[in-house]
Amino acid sequence: MDEKTNNSTERTRAYNALFKPKNIVIIGASDNLSKPGGKVLRNILDHGYGGVLRVVNPGADSISGVPSFKSVDDLPDTPELAIVAIPAPFVVPTLENLAARGTQAVIVLTSGFGEKDEKGKEEEERMRVIADSAHMILIGPNCSGFMTPHYSGKFAGLIPDLKRKSVDIISGSGATVDFVMEQAVYRGLSFCNVVNVGNSAQTGVEDLVALYDENYGEDSAPILMVYLESLKKPWLFLKHARQLTEKGCSIVGIKSGVTGSGARAAASHTGAMATDEVTVEALFRKAGIIRVRSKVEMVDVACVLAAAQGRLKGNRACVISDAGGPGVMLADELERQGVEVPILKDGTRKKLSQVLPPESSVANPIDCLPTRTASQIKEILKIIEAEEKGSIDIVAVMAGNPGMLENGELYEEISRAIDTSEIPVIPVLSSTTTCADLIKNFTSQGRYYFQDEVPLGAAIGKVVHRPRLWEPSAILQDYDRVAIESILSGREGALDPATAKELLSKAGFRFPRQIEVFSEEGFLAACGNIGYPLVMKVIGPLHKSDMGGVRVGIPQQEAALSAWNDLMAIEGAMGILVQEMIPGIEVILGASRAGGDLGHLVMFGLGGIYTEVLKDVRFALSPLAKKECFEMIRAIRGYPILEGVRGEKGVSVERIADYLERLGRLVSDFPAIREIDINPLKGSGTDLFVVDARIIVE
């Protein structure tokens, strides 16, 4: 067996031991339900674990009918999974015993380690070394446990009934898992695998995502919630999250600790590294993850995904309401999210008018009035499905409790439509007090709902506009990799203007005519060669604009000589770049190394003064597909400027996208490039030129 096959076999065994163990031992189990060991044992027993269950407790022969052993050494065979709930000083010796026995997976519930003090962090490192040496997967410490369809090995919080092919959670925080489930189960969502990593001494969220991806199949959950506090292995996370997305898994994610105060809070808990906000946004988009910022928003998006079941292909919604105001509010939010609420077809409106009173609105939103009946809602949904299939992508049904008719039959018709309609149907059931029992019955049947229309509109928007996965082109015309490699060979630090121009030219960028001059002799000839008006830039200082080292619009020889004297007086000046004056719109392209092992962030935005003042820029991780480039360009607020305003000629978006694609390829092919600024890229139409560029190699 080769090494790759052996590693794959080991990881499959580790996955099965963690998610589908045939043999579990709880070390520190008791009958005391106020202790983690007692509670986890009770939860496993109450939720029907079908494998071999044993406990280790030196003070008992059996606990709750489960055979108890004095020590790990006394166990009759090797457990696949050990759940450890003993005082902190005894955890490391117990891990050593389990490693010696060949246990494949261990979940440490015990707290009092790295979240407490430096000594605790040292103990965690000892635990990691033991687990790595034994090829054992270690979860925790300070972990609330795992729940899978095979066992409910969790001691704290809600322990719901698990449903296969529903929603999975992988979290860096046990409390967050509990809070999400509390809100989600109340709304009708079901869960399958619910796991958290605690302090991540060995295994972090990204490691579990990798393991999850490697074992993802037809029976796996179509929706995965991910909560990250630390991100020690960003490339591993990106790789496997992207592969999961490609396999059809919809990932909804939160990354906390992206601000200074958030990072401090994460560090005080289980966080290890707060990743910069811009990098996280780019990473999530590259992986196809729907990013949310709260637990409620995570549940909202999961409800829309569960209702859509992969059928939501477009961005056209139909709103059905029994009150005008909520229908208008939902329509407003959908429009804000870029989701269309189109007027229904003439034939559709005619048929709806035959079902509803004359006072009703049948355009979209459809206002059924408070007198609506279950049979009317049934007919409306049938008409929409029959007449608007292909024109409407999702239907939102909003039902309050006007008190005129009992809502039970109405909810039944909505439930039936959820099951049978080819167009996804999502309900908003607002009367959570007066219809509490009916809504509880509704969710007990596996249905989910929204309490308010505005969060529904926001969630639909996030799902409709979720990040797409694009593959970069294999070949770029006029991109000379061999020549670029030769230019960069042996280079270090900031490249001089001539070298930067040569490098970018070999990557397919265009430059205006320019001449470097290092002495006054020949300076005026260079100016005449370029032609007035022209631009002069000091050569030498890295941040020449900040030092007054750029002069534009120089009209004639006398002004050029004066500018020469001023620029050469700047500290560090080595010469002058004389450049053709380029009129038109300015944009900025740039790239810099991201944190960790993610490669480079590529940036695009309006150039010149707009860059610093408006900060109207977008970022993406390299390499870039052409469609990603178009998305970046169209996402900036100043996009209309690029198209041309008030009679000014615009610029070619196609050409900008081509340059962005080249920049992404350049920094991916040559990671030694630490930073590139092309500011500005300037011109009009397809005539876009690199007016100034800075490249730093490391």
Answer whether 1-141 and 313-464 agree in fold: yes
Question: The tokens of 605 are what?
Answer: 């935005």
Q: Looking at the domain that runs over 513-581, which CATH code has it been given?
A: 3.30.1490.20
* Residue-level pLDDT at 310: 87
What mean pLDDT comes out for the span 514-537? 92
In sequence order, the 6+-apart residues with CB closer than 8 A to the CB of 413 are 374, 375, 377, 378, 381
For CA atoms 209, 215, 217, 219, give the dihedral sign.
negative
Paired residues of 226 in beta bridges? 170, 253
C-alpha to C-alpha distance for 428 and 697, rounded to whole angstroms: 56
Beta carbons of 143 and 171 less than 8 angstroms apart: no
Q: What is the mean pLDDT of the chain?
A: 92
Q: What is the pLDDT of residues 487-502, one digit of tens each?
A: 999 999 999 988 999 9
Q: Among 84-93, 255-264, 384-393, which stretch is predicted with the lowest mean pLDDT?
A: 255-264
* Residue-level pLDDT at 273: 32
Q: 611 versus 250: which is more confidently predicted? A: 250
Give yes or no for residue 543 having a pLDDT over 80: no
Beta carbons of 29 and 55 less than 8 angstroms apart: yes
Question: The tokens of 624 are what?
Answer: 């870039």
What mean pLDDT comes out for the span 503-527? 93
pTM: 0.90
Q: What is the pLDDT of residues 460-474, one digit of tens each?
A: 999 999 999 999 998
User: How many CA atoms, within 13 angstroms, populate the side-chain half-sphere of residue 290?
Assistant: 25
**Residue 394: strand, helix, or coil:** strand
Q: Among 8-12, 201-205, 292-296, which stretch is predicted with the lowest mean pLDDT?
A: 8-12
Helices and strands: H and E segment counts in the chain = 24, 29
Q: What is the pLDDT of residues 310-362, one digit of tens each?
A: 899 899 999 999 998 999 999 999 999 999 999 999 999 999 999 999 999 99
**Residue 167: strand, helix, or coil:** strand
Q: 3-state SS of the chain: helix, strand, coil percent to 5?
A: 40, 20, 40
* Residue-level pLDDT at 646: 74
What mean pLDDT comes out for the span 522-529? 92
Indicate the fold that domain 1-141 takes in CATH.
Rossmann fold (3.40.50)
What mean pLDDT comes out for the span 257-272? 49
Give yes or no for residue 4 having a pLDDT over 60: no
Give yes or no for residue 270 having a pLDDT over 60: no
Q: How many percent of the chain have pLDDT more than 90?
A: 83
Give yes or no for residue 403 having a pLDDT over 90: no
> What's the one-letter identity of residue 224?
L
Give yes or no for residue 662 having a pLDDT over 70: yes
Least Cα distance to 28 among 141, 161, 190 occurs for: 141
Q: Among 20-34, 84-98, 513-527, 610-624, which stretch is predicted with the lowest mean pLDDT?
A: 610-624
Give yes or no for residue 152 having a pLDDT over 90: yes
The confidence band for 147, taking pLDDT boundaries of 50, 70 and 90, is: very high
Going through 331-443 in order, the beta strands assigned E by DSSP cover 366-367, 394-399, 425-429
Annotated domain spans of the chain: 1-141, 157-310, 313-464, 513-581, 585-697
**Residue 514: strand, helix, or coil:** strand
Q: What is the pLDDT of residues 354-374, one digit of tens each?
A: 999 999 999 999 999 999 999
Question: The tokens of 365 are what?
Answer: 């939103």
What mean pLDDT comes out for the span 581-593? 93
Looking at the structure, give the CATH architecture of the domain made up of residues 585-697. Answer: 2-Layer Sandwich (3.30)
* Residue-level pLDDT at 2: 52
Give yes or no for residue 261 having a pLDDT over 70: no
C-alpha to C-alpha distance for 438 and 423, rounded to whole angstroms: 24
C-alpha to C-alpha distance for 607 and 689, rounded to whole angstroms: 13
Q: Which helix (H) or strand (E) holds 673?
A: strand 673-684
The confidence band for 406, taking pLDDT boundaries of 50, 70 and 90, is: confident
C-alpha to C-alpha distance for 92 and 86, rounded to whole angstroms: 11
Give yes or no for residue 545 having a pLDDT over 80: no
Q: Among 215-219, 263-267, 441-445, which stretch is predicted with the lowest mean pLDDT?
A: 263-267
Q: Among 95-104, 307-316, 527-536, 643-652, which stretch is predicted with the lowest mean pLDDT?
A: 643-652
Identify the CATH assignment for 157-310 out of 2.40.50.140, 3.40.50.300, 3.40.50.261, 3.30.930.10.
Answer: 3.40.50.261
**Residue 382: strand, helix, or coil:** helix
The confidence band for 276, taking pLDDT boundaries of 50, 70 and 90, is: confident
Q: Looking at the domain that runs over 313-464, which CATH code has it been given?
A: 3.40.50.261
Contacts by 55-59, CB closer than 8 A, 24 or more apart? 55/25, 55/26, 55/27, 55/29, 56/25, 56/26, 56/27, 56/28, 56/29, 57/28, 57/29, 57/30
Q: What is the pLDDT of residues 117-126, one digit of tens each?
A: 999 999 999 9
Q: What is the pLDDT of residues 560-575, one digit of tens each?
A: 999 999 999 999 999 9
Beta carbons of 16 and 146 less than 8 angstroms apart: no
